[in-house]
Amino acid sequence: MIRILSYCLNLLFFAGVLFGDVGRLLEPLNFNNFNQPGKVGYRGAALIAPMPSKHKSEKVSEKESHVILDRVLLERTLGEALSHRYQATGKVLSYITREWSDMKVSPNFFLKIRDCAPDELAPSSFVRFEVWDEGDLVGQFSEPIRMAHMMEVFFTTVPFARGNKPSSAHMTTRSVDVLKQHAGSVFANAKLSGYQLNSNLKAGSPLKWNHLTKVTLVQKGKIVDVFASGNGIYVSMKGMALQDGVEGGLVKVRNLSSEKEFQARVLNENSVKVHL
């Protein structure tokens, strides 16, 4: 009887544990938080450039597929073509003088000069040219243009008197149009040795070739050394200059021994050279 009573008490204890109020042992659930967006993190394996959208890609392709040949692009292209045609140093600028109708071409279009009148770099010219695009002839055109040839030339920084020898130490350079006002100017890469001024120049003046004359190195009646060479023969002698001579110029010389006269090229103030 006691065993049966003990068994019944144990059965009642386990039933209380199983079916009792265990909610107090758990955290209450908040269903309102389910509607809020959560933060999701990820870690990429590498950096990848974003792919452009289809709309943006189409715009880029359309932009690169053609250019507008307007006045500005035409003038720049003409200048480059004329510079190549005449193998000009410096920069050639061209300006069309009539209305130009814009046209659509590919970036690989080509402009070909047919002829110019006059056929040289000049302030005004009449140019005939063709425009080719992707192997097809777009059109033939004839346009009057104005041109400028921009070159670096010498300008004086100090006054020069007649007879002075110009020196680049007393010069500066400027980029000017040598087809008009500054035609005949001395380019900045020219050698000034062997020249002297034949007129006075103020500071800030452009140096032009008509301002210069070659310096007389050998004077008439001066005794000079004569060097003769050719065919494996080298001879030196004394001679008398029969006329004034400039560097690199020819002068008549008389051999002091044989009295024979001949032409010789001036090397410097004291010597001339003859090629046998």
pLDDT, one tens digit per residue, over 120-154 is: 999 999 999 999 999 999 999 999 999 999 999 99
Final residue of a structural domain among 182, 198, 214:
214
Residue 182, in any domain of the structure = yes
> What b/e sequence results for 227-236 when a residue is b if at least 16 CB atoms lie within 10 Å of its CB, and e otherwise?
bbeeeeeeee
Final residue of a structural domain among 214, 249, 267:
214
Q: What is the pLDDT along the chain (276 residues), one digit of tens a residue?
A: 555 555 555 555 544 544 444 444 444 545 444 444 444 443 433 333 444 444 443 444 445 688 999 999 999 999 999 999 999 999 999 999 999 999 999 999 999 999 999 999 999 999 999 999 999 999 999 999 999 999 999 999 999 999 999 988 999 999 999 999 899 999 999 988 889 999 999 999 999 999 999 888 888 999 999 998 888 888 899 999 999 998 888 999 999 988 899 999 998 888 999 987
Is 137 found in the same domain as 100?
yes
Residue 3, in any domain of the structure = no
Phi, psi of 238, rounded to the nearest 5 degrees: -105, 145
Is 164 found in the same domain as 202?
yes
Structural domain including 203 reads 151-214
Is 162 found in the same domain as 120?
no
pTM over 0.85: no
Domain count, the chain: 3
Final residue of a structural domain among 132, 149, 166:
149
Is 132 found in the same domain as 98?
yes
